[in-house]
């Protein structure tokens, strides 16, 4: 994949005040009770009047992979979809964007609308595409099993419990040259309970994380015929929701 790192920035010099206002990124706070991704405190809402001097248009030139392949590199759609974005401390609404799962990059149009740029990941606090809400998290190998720093979808968040999905795609080339390459997606799930992270690959991992209600959850799973092997993501969300009810 050819990817140019030519920086397209509306501002080249950062004042000391600007540096002090850069958003700090960290792992999820244990206080998720005020979970409101688009609350006013997350930034100034500037969904109107964007211009070429906007701090939004600060990123790298993005060139799509031209390799013929089955599927596409992006989350949910092969075209830009309107979403909401908190970038560099400012909240933007109705911004056309697409999330490249191969490179873990959020892509938007430049200010001319004729080219694409990938935004600087460290400046992104969160973004949404349709009902899907993603946060930028920093992986700390000593404190959590998060595999890498980057974007994680928040599947469920209430109180001190947050269920996350890390979504990645790879371009897989077949051994037969006559066949097309294809994009293959993998999903990894993580549970944040209090101040601890757990990787959850199935029912047993989830029950270990919720061990204080393990027996009750087993009965609930059995009674409702929840199949982790067939619909893992749905099963994790449903069981986590029930755990909160009985906690």
pLDDT value of position 178: 83
Question: Mapped to the 3 state alphabet, what secondary structure does the chain carry?
Answer: CCCCCCEECCCCCCCHHHHHCCCCCCCCCCCCCCCCCCCHHHCEECCCCCCCCCCCCCEEEECCCCCCEECCCECCCCCCEEEEEEECCEEEEEEEEEEECCCCEEEEECCCCCCEEEECHHHEEEEEECCEEEEEECCCCCCCCCCCCEEEEEEEEECCEEEEEEEEEEEECCCCCCCCEEEEEEEEEEEEECCEEEECCCHHHHHHHCHHHHHHHHHHHHHCCCCCCCCHHHHHHHHHHHHHHHC
Along the 247 residues of the chain, how does pLDDT read in single tens digits?
444 444 444 333 333 323 223 333 444 443 333 344 444 333 444 443 466 657 899 999 999 999 999 999 999 999 999 999 999 999 999 999 999 999 999 999 999 999 999 999 999 999 999 999 999 999 886 667 788 999 999 999 998 899 999 999 999 999 988 899 999 999 999 999 988 899 999 999 999 999 999 999 999 999 999 999 999 999 999 999 999 999 8
Can you give the pTM of this predicted structure? Answer: 0.79
pLDDT value of position 59: 93
**Cβ contact 116:65 at 8 Å:** no
Alpha-carbon gap, residue 3 to 6, rounded angstroms: 9
pLDDT value of position 160: 87
pLDDT value of position 50: 61
């Amino acid at each position: 994949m050819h990817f140019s790192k030519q920086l397209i920035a509306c501002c080249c010099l950062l004042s000391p005040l600007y540096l002090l206002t850069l958003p700090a990124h960290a792992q999820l706070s244990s206080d998720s009770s005020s979970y409101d991704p688009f609350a006013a405190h997350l930034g100034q809402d500037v969904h109107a009047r964007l211009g070429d001097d906007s701090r939004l248009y600060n990123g790298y030139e993005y060139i799509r992979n031209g390799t013929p392949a089955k599927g596409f590199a992006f989350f949910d759609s092969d075209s830009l979809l309107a979403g909401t974005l908190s970038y560099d401390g400012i909240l933007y609404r109705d911004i056309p964007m697409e999330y490249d799962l191969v490179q873990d990059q959020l892509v938007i149009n430049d200010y001319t609308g004729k080219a694409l740029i990938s935004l600087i990941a460290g400046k992104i606090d969160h973004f949404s595409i349709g009902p899907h809400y993603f946060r930028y998290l920093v992986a700390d190998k000593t404190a959590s099993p998060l595999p890498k720093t980057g974007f994680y979808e928040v599947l469920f968040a209430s109180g001190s419990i947050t269920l996350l999905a890390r979504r990645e795609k790879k371009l897989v080339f077949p051994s037969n040259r006559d066949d097309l390459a294809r994009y293959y997606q993998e999903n990894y799930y993580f549970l944040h309970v209090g101040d601890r992270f757990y990787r959850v690959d199935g029912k047993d991992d989830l029950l270990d994380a919720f061990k204080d209600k393990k027996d009750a959850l087993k009965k609930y799973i059995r009674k409702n015929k929840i199949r982790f092997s067939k619909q893992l993501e749905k099963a994790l969300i449903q069981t986590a929701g029930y755990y909160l009810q009985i906690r």
